[in-house]
Structure 1
Amino acid sequence: MIGDFLTWFYPTTKSLHVISMVAWMAGMFYLPRLFVYHAEAATEGSETAETFKVMERRLLRAIMNPAMIATWIFGLMLVFTPGVVDWSQGWPWVKAAGVIALSGVHGWLSAQRKEFEAGTNRRTGRTYRMVNEVPTVLLIIIVVMVIARPF
């Protein structure tokens, strides 16, 4: 019964998964960039620092967190849709590892936002520039696994 519903709902689920993933990735690209500017240009306690704190909090809470949750929900619905994923192949395992890693980066960024909020950031803009590349690499791996299914 659930399998029938998931099969019937598959095109909608897939669409919602892609939409939520795009929103999540937009935030994953932008938040570390905000951290670069915050770390380099804002003196703690300044009006600029307070503006960055508001931007970072709103981005994380209003866009990134809901988008990540939706991506996971719709992704799991796809996983449980009969005939969509063949777990005997390698690609779904690599994709799953990529999504888990991306979720870990999201959690790390969330922790960094709390440090900025508390005025205790210890990292440089250079660190956040390097971290900014991680979601891109993970996105490439995830998309290639799903589209090309190389193994």
Structure 2
Amino acid sequence: MISIDPITLAVSSFAMMASASPFVYYSLKLKKISSLNLATFEEFSKTHKVVPNQEERWRNHYHLGLDSQYKKLIYHRFGTYPEQSIIDLNEVNKVSIQEKMRHVQVGKEKRYILDFLALQFHFKDRSHSPKTIEIYDGELFTSLAGEKGIAEKWQRILENNLKD
């Protein structure tokens, strides 16, 4: 049988707790932010009498919800410059994807870097300027985490709802 010195056990336990505590703290902090964001989104939905049956959240920074019955889209962007929007799809003619890219050349290698990705809503009433909702901002995040797929998916979903 292995005998463990109580002092060694205490030091080892302290070292394990010290190395794990930042991860536990960060995890609890993210859960708190996520639940606060969700509560804000749900409160905004209830206030405007919209019940989303399709939702998507990403990066603890964005939240989209679609009420297919009343054809309303709810959008939330959290963070430093928060935004809350409701878009009535009955007034929308077309949904497109807006991208802003820049060209970078290092030596012989050429790369395109996506700086901004959004869904743009073009309204039936031409006097109403297009509405843009941000999906990705290159100044906030260093790389894409599936936002291009999210934008394409939501464009298809919204275009299908415009046809109904």
Place the TM-score, normalised by the shorter chain, in its bin.
under 0.3
Q: Which has the higher contact order (CA 8 A, sep 6+)?
A: 1
Greater percentage in helix: 1
Larger radius of gyration: 2
> Which structure's residues are more often strand, by fraction?
2
- Per the normalisation by structure 1, the TM-score is 0.25
TM-score between the two structures when normalised by the length of structure 2: 0.24
